[in-house]
């Protein structure tokens, strides 16, 4: 299995488990994440969130002026005159 297949196989449950593990520094079975596991988990979280709308991603901060926010990649731009 290559990296792309592995990332595509992440389920919402696995995603939530990875997020929680990074947040508290432990796996669900109470073992600590190693120094090597933390960045790998974070990379998997970020890769998974690429398919989510921007406002649902970890760390999203909405702009003060909504007109300044760039459109989502899948969003159609409608110009108003």
Every domain of the chain and the residues it spans: 3-68
15 pLDDT tier (thresholds 50, 70, 90): very high
Cα R_g (the chain), whole angstroms: 16
- With beta carbons less than 8 A apart as the criterion, state whether 63 and 54 touch: no
Percentage with pLDDT > 70 across the chain: 81
pLDDT at 18: 94
Q: Which residue has the tokens 């398919």?
A: 51
Spatial distance between the Cα atoms of 58 and 73, rounded to a whole number of angstroms: 17
7 pLDDT tier (thresholds 50, 70, 90): confident
Q: Which residues pair with 32 in a beta bridge?
A: 26
Q: What is the pTM of this model?
A: 0.69
pLDDT surpassing 80 at residue 25: yes
pLDDT at 38: 95
| Mean pLDDT, residues 7-32 | 92
Counting runs of H as helices and runs of E as strands, what totals does the chain give? 3, 0
């Amino acid at each position: 299995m290559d990296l792309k297949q592995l990332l595509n196989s992440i389920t919402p449950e696995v995603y939530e488990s990875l997020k929680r593990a990074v947040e508290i520094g432990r796996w669900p079975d109470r073992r600590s994440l190693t120094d090597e596991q933390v960045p790998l988990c974070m990379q998997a979280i970020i890769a998974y969130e690429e398919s989510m709308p921007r406002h649902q991603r970890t760390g999203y901060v909405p702009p003060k002026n909504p007109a300044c926010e760039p459109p989502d990649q899948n969003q159609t731009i409608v110009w108003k005159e």
